[in-house]
Amino acid sequence: MSPFNIPPTGSFVMQEKPSVKSQKIIIAIDGYSSCGKSTLAKALAKKLAYSYIDSGAMYRAVTLFIQQHDISLSQLEEMTQKQMEGLMDNIQISFHVNPDSGLSEVFLNGLNVEKRIRDLKVSDWVSPVSAIHEIRHRMVELQKGYGSHKGIVMDGRDIGTEVFPKAELKIFMTAKKEIRAKRRFDELNSKGFMVTLDEVMKNIQDRDYTDTHRSESPLRQAEDAIILDNSNLTEQEQFQFALNLIKELNVPIPV
């Protein structure tokens, strides 16, 4: 019996495009926190009419569940394999396309949590949570499934190294810490989250450290990834940079 009294809410649902024997590819975008991975990934997915999956949103949704159930980080880290499996059996993550934006949003046990998972409280816990083996194992399994028909852009930390080591295009994004913190601060403020620049900077530094030092699938650049430092690039410039890489692969691009 699981300690979490949450009814199952149906299986994973994602609006898949019909599988044509296509020249569609997988685009893996990895990099540090807050360096604009999702902005680029969404723009590319839109341009190519591909699916977009924000893998960080999945770890954030798991973190939200843990916080909602008053499980502390130390309790989590002390769980036995069986307890951890029981916990994960109660967590259903799915993506559904928002008809207004055309983008996929993350659902936790049937509820849209796309906004709530951006809270700094979730950001503060998500790196240690995502370092736990059973959690990574379950999320990576789901992520691999999403790419089975190609035609997908996925961003995260281990997409080019673990999830899709054979992705046709891998981009590793980076930018100066101060610039990343300011961008994230502006974004959070514009969404109504009350945070200080110092808090955002600390969170970014802590996550960079945990994400690059964890034992399982640490953030690192895949050997065949192309580096994109966007410290001094506009969104349009970074988009153009990536689009040029796609053109070089002769991938069909809708006009």
CB of 144 to ligand DC, least distance (A): 12
Contact 236, 217 (CB under 8 A): no
Nearer Cβ to ligand DC, position 88 or 159?
159
Closer residue to ligand DC in complex, CB, 133/247: 133
Q: What is the DSSP letter of 17?
A: P
Query: DSSP string of 52-89?
Result: EEEHHHHHHHHHHHHHHTT--HHHHHH--HHHHHHHHH
Tell me the closest approach of the beta carbon of residue 240 to ligand DC, in angstroms: 23
Nearer to ligand DC, 57 or 87 (CB): 57
Q: Which is nearer to ligand DC, 151 or 156 (CB)?
A: 156
In angstroms, the CA 19 to CA 23 distance is: 11
Tell me whether residue 33 or residue 92 sits nearer to ligand DC (CB atom). 33
**CB of 15 vs ligand DC, minimal distance in Å:** 21
Residues at the site binding ligand DC, with contacts judged by CB under 6 A: 33, 55-56, 59-60, 126-127, 130, 156-159, 207, 211
3-class DSSP assignment, residue 30: strand
Give dist(CA 139, CA 132) in Å, integer: 11
Nearest approach, Cβ of 210 to ligand DC (angstroms)? Answer: 7
Distance from C-alpha of 87 to C-alpha of 71, rounded to nearest angstrom: 10
Most distant pair of Cα atoms in the chain: their distance: 53
- Between residues 38 and 92, which has the closer beta carbon with respect to ligand DC? 38
Instruction: Give the number of other Cβ atoms within 10 Å of residue 120's Cβ.
Output: 17
Could you tell me the smallest distance in angstroms from the CB atom of residue 18 to ligand DC? 27
CA atoms within a 13 Å half-sphere pointing along the CA-CB vector of 161: 14
Cα distance between residue 153 and residue 221, in whole Å: 17
Sheet containing strand 93-97, strands side by side: 93-97, 104-108, 111-112
* CB closer to ligand DC, 59 vs 185: 59
Q: How far is the CB of 217 from ligand DC (least distance, A)?
A: 7
Rounded to a whole number of angstroms, the minimum distance from the CB of residue 212 to ligand DC is 10
**Tokens 């569940």 belong to which residue?**
65
